[in-house]
Structure 1
């Protein structure tokens, strides 16, 4: 069945139709490696990890590429502050970024492409723009001439920089032909990295890195480009202008997907606001499965609040699924009714995902199934286990393989604790609770029973 995706370019839901049937060539803007990656990066890259997993699960052959901006004004400025070489700084934080992605289980990227490794491709693309009359030279480098590309603004619906464009990297030069013209190649400055090229000694502008990289690995057109919504203007607008002007082929990308932004405690995340969280700090607050569930239970295009309540809700939802998974009896023979319930749930789950990757709807279908199955006289069996595993292939947010051998011992300890509480021997009952907590097992008392779960993985 077809997949419907919201296309930022058309601003509508469209059937996903890759250029080659059954093949997805997918690019997502990667980090500029001058500092530790933050929790907003975690949201974006986890959601695109899910998208790549979904396409593969749907039978597509996916090539997922991400760039690493390892030469840039921000890197040079930070390296100068720390008294290190820019290349040393970028290599350090590239390694940290890859460690963070591994810690989040974001494993879908096939190739990370560094700007440093594509200088020849960058120079060739700038030269093509020069040859086609889309670029001009000033004393500080080569600029893209926006007056030569009438389609500029077709992605975002605007052409002028606004105050909130915090990642714009606007290149200032009073002699630019048009206010929005942007640097393609920056002339050499003392103490900065540079390459000797036919364009003159210098280094790439920010926008040109992405299109030179994608042209090198995918050609001038490909299927899907993603990033956070704050990159739509001017960065992705500039990418369209560069590649379509250089190649003459339209469109650069068939489908543009953009993720919503993340806010921390109701405010935009910023170091100056004191609410800035790195991925590493977030992983101290919650394990990777809780973070993944928090991100993936939200629709990818929605903005998201990140706070203690968000994490608590994500933990509680995970526990419901994991507690249900512990009820599965793999030796049970599923009835026809149980098999039919699983199949209906699977159909609902994937129907939601095929409609613009509606993960909240898919999660709701899963919880509806758990409620319905819990009302049945028979225990969940192999079909339930297969469904949960299929869900987790995409979400990677549930611990479905908790050691079964410990369950009987834990239940025995909880039975003993209930007996002690009934006898009002609360201090001894609390010792059992604390012993379990020390082993990473938390318990919750309800009027009907005592539930337990493994807190950490």
Structure 2
């Protein structure tokens, strides 16, 4: 079955066909590095990490690029507040961002493009737009004239800013020809970083950074562009207008993918509104696997609410998989019937993932398989383990190995607890229960034995 993706540009699912067979050039809008990244970023970049992993799994040679906005109004304002050089501020928070991505195991980006490193390409692209009649100059810099590009709005279906849109990067100037015209190159202002160029002394506008970087990396056209849904307008519309007008080629990207927003208390997570929780904060209370499961158990195009209940449900679900993995006899060769059960589950899982990365559907198949396998008298064996390992190569949300190394120790503690209970030393026996609970292990006494399983994250050793 071919991969089918929902293309924001065409508003429908389409078979994924790359410009060069077997090769994917993929770009996702990265953060503006002026503060710690929030868990909304974690959702978007975890879901695109899965996209890159899956395309590689399906045999594509993937180059995944992401920009880092390190020259921007927000950075300058924040640096002035802190009394820092804007470049130093951006460098500091870029490192924090990369550390956060590594902590989440979002490690599939191949190239990070920084605005500072592409000033020449930015200037050259603005010059192309000037030469083709798409740009005009005002006192405070060069602007894009939207009336010169009839295709503006084809991604979002609209051309004008609405009240609910973020206005943080709308370039205000009473002299603009059209209200939606945006800055390509901003003239030098006192106390701000600048470059001396053929466009005059100044610095890039926000939108032009991305298209200059992607043109330098991929040329004027490539396969897949991604980002959060709130970037569709005006940012991604501006990218299309810039690159397609500068190159004369259509489309800029063949497929556009957008992730749904993360909400807290029913509101979009955003630094500008103050409604955000940093990745570092959330990792103090939830491990990376639970977070990855929470994000990947939702369809990437869906919005989701993040709260304690969401995390508890994600933790419980991944524990079900891990508890199943603990029961696998890793030396047992499955019978043909059991092996077929695993093989059929794998085929169904990949059918779901081929259908616009339907991760909820794929996980539903996995849990159906686990339920069916648990009903069988034959214990799960190597086929079951191979299925879990392959799925975890994509999700990276399950601890399939480390838990098994604790079995002997845990059984020894339970044996000691039984001895203490038989000796009516209940207080000491209860201390063992508490110790196991702190390690995320629940125990249940039955007439014949004591059962145990993992439920919550380890909080202490």
- TM-score, normalised to structure 2, is 0.95
Partner of 1:374: 374
Shift of 1:425: 5.5
Partner of 1:295: 295
* Contact 2:215/2:221, CA 8 A, preserved across alignment: yes
**Structure 2: gaps of 5 or more residues:** none
Shift of 1:266: 2.5
SS at match of 2:397: coil
Shift of 1:414: 2.9
The reply on whether 1:262 has 2:266 as its aligned counterpart is no
Partner of 2:359: 359
Partner of 2:388: 388
Change (3 A) 1:209 1:353: same
Partner of 1:130: 130
Partner of 2:457: 455
Shift of 1:422: 8.2
C-alpha distance after superposition, 1:312-370 (max 9, x if no partner): 00110111011111111121121000110011000000000000000000001111111
Deviates more, 1:157-166 or 1:210-219: 157-166
Partner of 1:140: 140
SS at match of 1:293: helix
C-alpha distance after superposition, 1:375-433 (max 9, x if no partner): 11111111111111000000000001115343023124235546766887542332002
C-alpha distance after superposition, 1:259-290 (max 9, x if no partner): 00001133333568775200000101100000
Root-mean-square deviation (CA, aligned residues, Å) is 1.8
| CA–CA separation in structure 2 for the residues paired with 1:59 and 1:40 | 30
| CA–CA separation in structure 2 for the residues paired with 1:123 and 1:324 | 57
* Contact 1:167/1:230, CA 8 A, preserved across alignment: no
Change (3 A) 1:255 1:424: farther
* Contact 1:7/1:13, CA 8 A, preserved across alignment: yes
| CA–CA separation in structure 2 for the residues paired with 1:255 and 1:273 | 31
Change (3 A) 1:97 1:329: same
| CA–CA separation in structure 1 for the residues paired with 2:26 and 2:428 | 58
| CA–CA separation in structure 1 for the residues paired with 2:418 and 2:326 | 21
| CA–CA separation in structure 1 for the residues paired with 2:34 and 2:275 | 19
1:242-253 counterparts in 2 under 5 A? Answer: 242-253=242-253
Change (3 A) 1:239 1:168: farther
SS at match of 2:200: coil
Shift of 1:31: 0.4
The reply on whether 1:443 has 2:442 as its aligned counterpart is yes
* Contact 2:333/2:383, CA 8 A, preserved across alignment: no
* Contact 1:348/1:365, CA 8 A, preserved across alignment: yes
* Contact 1:168/1:233, CA 8 A, preserved across alignment: no
1:82-231 counterparts in 2 under 5 A? Answer: 82-166=82-166, 169-231=169-231
* Contact 1:186/1:203, CA 8 A, preserved across alignment: yes
| CA–CA separation in structure 1 for the residues paired with 2:17 and 2:55 | 12
| CA–CA separation in structure 2 for the residues paired with 1:156 and 1:371 | 43
Shift of 1:443: 1.3
Partner of 1:316: 316
Change (3 A) 1:422 1:24: farther
Change (3 A) 1:207 1:446: farther
* Contact 1:168/1:234, CA 8 A, preserved across alignment: no
* Contact 1:287/1:456, CA 8 A, preserved across alignment: no
| CA–CA separation in structure 2 for the residues paired with 1:421 and 1:153 | 72
SS at match of 2:106: coil
* Contact 1:29/1:66, CA 8 A, preserved across alignment: yes
* Contact 2:47/2:295, CA 8 A, preserved across alignment: yes
**Structure 1: gaps of 5 or more residues:** none
| CA–CA separation in structure 1 for the residues paired with 2:169 and 2:38 | 19
| CA–CA separation in structure 2 for the residues paired with 1:359 and 1:256 | 19
| CA–CA separation in structure 1 for the residues paired with 2:212 and 2:275 | 35
- TM-score, normalised to structure 1, is 0.96
SS at match of 2:250: coil
Deviates more, 1:130-139 or 1:397-406: 397-406
| CA–CA separation in structure 1 for the residues paired with 2:257 and 2:11 | 10
* Contact 2:221/2:252, CA 8 A, preserved across alignment: yes
* Contact 1:69/1:115, CA 8 A, preserved across alignment: yes
| CA–CA separation in structure 1 for the residues paired with 2:273 and 2:215 | 39
